[in-house]
């Protein structure tokens, strides 16, 4: 199950339960797609209550990040467990997905990126 909640200029998607079955990955994919279709391009997927993350879920997260990036935003991960962190390292997903241990840091990272983008356009 995916619970969606707003936090400043970001939508936080709280994943509840393991993301290692086709059904759970479909819920995740649908939630990401609905957020992007609604014009929300800054997304944080909170994995605190998610348990294990399967390869299909990782592909869905990477695809969601690509789609968000093409729309001027990004998808970031929050609270990956040890197994998920190891999967991210082994699959080199760390190079394409930012992840954080603090929700405030994850949310603030969008503000910093937006400010840097604005300054670079002015210069």
Residue boundaries of the structural domains of the chain: 2-122
Phi, psi of 120 (to 5 degrees): -70, -30
Query: How high is the pLDDT of residue 84?
Result: 80
Cα-Cα-Cα-Cα torsion 13, 16, 18, 24, nearest 10 degrees, comes to -70
Round the CA-based radius of gyration of the chain to a whole number and report it: 14
Query: How high is the pLDDT of residue 83?
Result: 81
pLDDT along the chain (123 residues), means of 10: 93 92 92 96 95 87 94 93 79 73 94 48 46
The interaxial angle of helices 82-90 and 55-70, nearest 10 deg, is 70
Domain 2-122: give its CATH superfamily: STAS domain (3.30.750.24)
Query: How high is the pLDDT of residue 47?
Result: 94
């Amino acid at each position: 199950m995916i619970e969606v909640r707003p936090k400043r200029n970001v939508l936080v998607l709280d994943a509840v339960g393991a993301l290692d079955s086709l059904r759970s990955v479909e819920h995740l994919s649908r939630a990401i797609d609905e957020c992007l279709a609604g014009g929300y391009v800054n997304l944080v997927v909170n994995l605190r209550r998610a348990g294990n993350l399967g390869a299909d879920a990782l592909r869905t997260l990477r695809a969601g990040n690509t789609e968000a990036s093409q729309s001027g935003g990004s998808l970031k991960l929050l609270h990956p467990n040890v197994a998920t962190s190891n999967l991210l390292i082994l699959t080199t997903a760390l190079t394409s997905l930012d992840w954080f241990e603090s929700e405030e840091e994850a949310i603030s990272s969008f503000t910093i990126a937006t400010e840097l983008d604005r300054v670079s356009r002015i210069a």
